[in-house]
């Protein structure tokens, strides 16, 4: 079986230099999808002119942002700097979101450092007219921790609204197993399965049914270190937008929001400051259209251009796996 994944791109500057010539976008450039009008910009999402150029007057119905979390694995900044950086892209999001729209942000809390930046971000959000609607926790299957602390297995997702956007109730694949919960309806005593619209439970604000991405999954995009599961993004898109709507994601990385928008008939405008992730985003969409595949389980987006270069750099399968594990999963 082929086994040719990319190692984590953020940890290998030499490899990055080899890949950059194969990236079609230079910083400041935007690719427009000829088929469905999606856009991928190699842009800094705090640059107001760049975002205006991307939007070209359009308004988004939903934004799903997954910024770097200000954890050590990323380029850690002073907390105040990080929050003022967030303020810039939140402000730009407000400007380009429609009057009735949804705003989701994935953000971490570093338990080894005063749980920053999550609470600070929440306080900063009070300066905006966005209204908080939910604080969702997604459970990771694999965590990190010691014998002296609770295993860290959570990812946090904040849900705010501007105006009064759509919300379509979602269901998990988990069957309802508990009976009881009797209630009188029209003089009849009913039990909860009779009253409900689905045999399955709703996800609520604690998501326990989403498999975190790891190298054995088809949707895995090797080289990406912070990929969100398609199932989680699909849930957000289906709950908080409608077919034909415009979805915005300022931090594309592996292009999960774009791919999910494509799958569900939405249009997506997305940015990444890094030409390599911008290229991966475009290639992930193109590959899906050509093959129906959602990622590169045992290969990578640049293998047509650089079939051998990666094997020289990659060591044992165990090391490859460690290198491609999502950062957030280990740092929460
Ligand atoms: C946590 S990852 C996003 C993961 C993504 N949700 C996924 O499923 O693949 C954050 C991404 O933000 C990008 N980024 C960092 N600063 C940025 C900026 N100022 N503008 C645009 N993108 C930025 C990084 O290059 C990185 O790819």
Compute the distance between CA of residue 61 and CA of residue 242 in angstroms, rounded to an integer.
9
Q: Whose CA is nearest to atom 11 of ligand 1?
A: 251
Cα-to-centroid distance, 69 and ligand 1 (Å): 10
Q: Whose CA is nearest to atom 12 of ligand 1?
A: 251
Cα-to-centroid distance, 139 and ligand 1 (Å): 21
pLDDT digits (tens, 9 = 90+) for 234-270: 999 999 999 999 999 999 999 999 999 999 999 999 9
pLDDT for 331 beyond 90: no
Q: What is the pLDDT of residue 128?
A: 98
Q: What is the mean pLDDT of residues 90-100?
A: 98
111 versus 188: the higher-pLDDT residue is 111
User: Taking a C-beta distance cutoff of 8 angstroms, is the pair 162, 101 a contact?
Assistant: yes
CATH architecture of 9-171+209-331: 3-Layer(aba) Sandwich (3.40)
pLDDT for 144 beyond 80: no
* Pocket-forming residues, ligand 1, beta carbon under 6 Å: 44-46, 66, 68, 224, 226-228, 250-251, 253-254, 256, 271-274, 277
Q: What is the pLDDT of residue 71?
A: 63
Ligand 1, atom nearest to 64 Cα = 6
What lies within 8 Å, CB to CB, of 185 at 6+ separation is 195
Top mutation candidate among 273, 296, 325, 330 for ligand 1, by most atoms within 8 Å of CB:
273
The segment(s) of the chain belonging to CATH 3.40.50.150 are: 9-171+209-331
Q: What is the pLDDT of residue 317?
A: 47
pLDDT for 73 beyond 60: no
Q: What is the pLDDT of residue 305?
A: 82
pLDDT for 324 beyond 70: no
Q: Which two tokens stand for residue 107?
A: 């953000």
Q: Whose CA is nearest to atom 7 of ligand 1?
A: 227
Q: Whose CA is nearest to atom 18 of ligand 1?
A: 44
Q: Whose CA is nearest to atom 26 of ligand 1?
A: 253
265 versus 70: the higher-pLDDT residue is 265
DSSP 139-208: EEEEEE--TTS--EEEEEEEEEEES---------SPBP------EEETTEEE-HHHH-S-SB---TTEE-
User: Taking a C-beta distance cutoff of 8 angstroms, is the pair 29, 68 a contact?
Assistant: no
pLDDT for 76 beyond 70: no
Among 132-136, 224-228, 258-262, 295-299, the minimum mean pLDDT is found in 295-299
Please tell me whether the peptide bond between 117 and the residue prior to it is cis, using omega within 30 degrees of 0. yes
DSSP 39-103: EEE---TT-HHHHHHHHTT--EEEEEE------TTS----HHHHHHHHHHHHHHHHHHEEEEEEE
Cα-to-centroid distance, 42 and ligand 1 (Å): 11
């Amino acid at each position: 079986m082929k086994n040719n994944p990319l190692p984590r791109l953020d940890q290998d500057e030499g490899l990055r230099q080899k890949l950059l010539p194969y990236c079609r976008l230079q910083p400041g450039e935007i690719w427009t999808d000829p088929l469905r009008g999606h856009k991928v910009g190699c842009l800094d999402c705090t640059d107001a002119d760049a975002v205006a150029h991307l939007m070209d007057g359009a308004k988004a119905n939903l934004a799903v942002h997954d910024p770097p979390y200000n954890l050590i694995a990323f380029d850690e900044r002073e907390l105040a700097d990080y929050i003022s950086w967030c303020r810039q892209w939140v402000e730009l999001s407000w400007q380009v979101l429609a009057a009735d729209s949804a705003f989701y942000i994935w953000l971490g809390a570093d338990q080894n450092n005063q749980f920053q930046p999550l609470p600070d971000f929440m306080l900063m959000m009070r300066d905006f007219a966005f209204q908080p609607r939910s604080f969702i926790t997604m459970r990771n299957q694999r965590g990190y921790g010691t014998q002296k602390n609770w295993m860290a297995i959570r990812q946090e997702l904040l849900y705010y609204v501007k105006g009064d956007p759509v919300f379509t109730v979602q269901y998990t694949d988990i069957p309802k197993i508990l009976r009881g919960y009797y209630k009188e309806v029209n003089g009849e005593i009913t039990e909860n399965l009779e009253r409900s619209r689905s045999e399955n439970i709703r996800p609520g604000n604690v998501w326990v049914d989403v498999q975190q991405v790891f190298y054995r999954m088809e949707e895995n995009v090797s080289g990406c270190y912070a990929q969100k599961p398609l199932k989680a993004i699909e849930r957000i898109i289906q709950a908080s937008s409608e077919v034909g709507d415009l979805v915005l994601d300022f931090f594309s990385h592996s292009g999960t929001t774009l791919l999910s928008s494509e799958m569900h008939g939405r249009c997506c405008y997305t940015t990444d400051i890094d030409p390599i992730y911008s290229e991966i985003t475009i290639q992930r969409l193109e590959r899906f259209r050509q093959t129906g595949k959602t990622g590169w389980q045992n290969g990578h987006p640049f293998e047509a251009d650089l079939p051998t270069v990666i094997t020289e750099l990659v060591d044992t399968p165990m090391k490859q796996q460690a290198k491609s594990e999502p950062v957030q999963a280990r740092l929460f």
